[in-house]
Amino acid sequence: MTQAAEGEIVHFDNVGLRYGTDREVLTDLSFTLFPGSFYFLTGASGAGKTSLLRLLYLAQRPSRGMIRMFGADAITLPRERLPWLRRRIGVVFQDFRLVSHLSAFDNVALPLRVAGVAEQDLARPVADMLEWVGLGDRLEARPATLSGGEQQRVAIARAVIGRPEILVADEPTGNVDPDMAVKLLRLFEALNRLGTTVVVATHDVHLLQKVPDSLIMRLDRGRLSDPTGALRYPPRRPAVPAGERK
């Protein structure tokens, strides 16, 4: 078993994943994600990107190997402690997954309500978050009345309202036009500058040049390559600019 890197936030060691008795869809994955870094996960359709992300946000357990998150063994952790891990992870899906009968405000408020936050304590943070994603004037709008880009921004606001330490985004720009894709990417960058580790899965190679300090993880038929040398050593840049640290 490889030695965990200092300051890690996620560590995979020789992880494999298969569904049923089929061949492995992910094979021998060993890498470390570091706090405050921005990662792109790339690869052709069918390479295993979504399966890897499902492991990252704890929707799937591996068939073998070890996953450590926030210093805890995510595989052997008792089921009652899994919510403790999941609350530290935000997830953005390509198909938005908004609740159709709820307003933008109520969709974003949902994680806080599930966590037991009192109604009087969630109104301001939810409104501020929707303002941050540029939808301060659409609080009462339901998903059907929003454009694809607006729905994705609501989904991003919902994913980060709980201030996660990791944000995982699965093809978040796949259903929007190129201009909106760049705007969404800028939101991820802004969150990253505040110290959140960001992992964006994409097949759009043009996006990789839009974030100069990003690190690239490439999947090819279930195996991971490391073209930027990022997966075992922490980035040289600080997670948060010195002037913004508390």
- The answer to whether residue 116 is domain-embedded is yes
Q: Which domain holds residue 153?
A: 98-163
- The answer to whether residue 203 is domain-embedded is no
- The answer to whether residue 233 is domain-embedded is no
- The answer to whether residue 27 is domain-embedded is no
How many domains is the chain partitioned into structurally? Answer: 1
- The answer to whether residue 89 is domain-embedded is no
Q: Is 230 exposed, middle or buried (CB count within 10 Å of its CB: 0-12, 13-18, 19+)? A: buried
- So what's the pLDDT on residue 191? 92
- The answer to whether residue 230 is domain-embedded is no
- The answer to whether residue 47 is domain-embedded is no
Q: How far apart are CA 41 and CA 197, in angstroms?
A: 13
- So what's the pLDDT on residue 208? 86
Q: Residue length, the chain?
A: 246
Report the chain (246 residues): mean pLDDT per 10 consecutive residues: 60 94 91 92 90 94 95 90 89 93 97 92 95 95 95 94 94 86 91 93 86 89 76 54 41
- So what's the pLDDT on residue 80? 87
- The answer to whether residue 168 is domain-embedded is no
Q: How far apart are CA 57 and CA 161, in angstroms?
A: 16
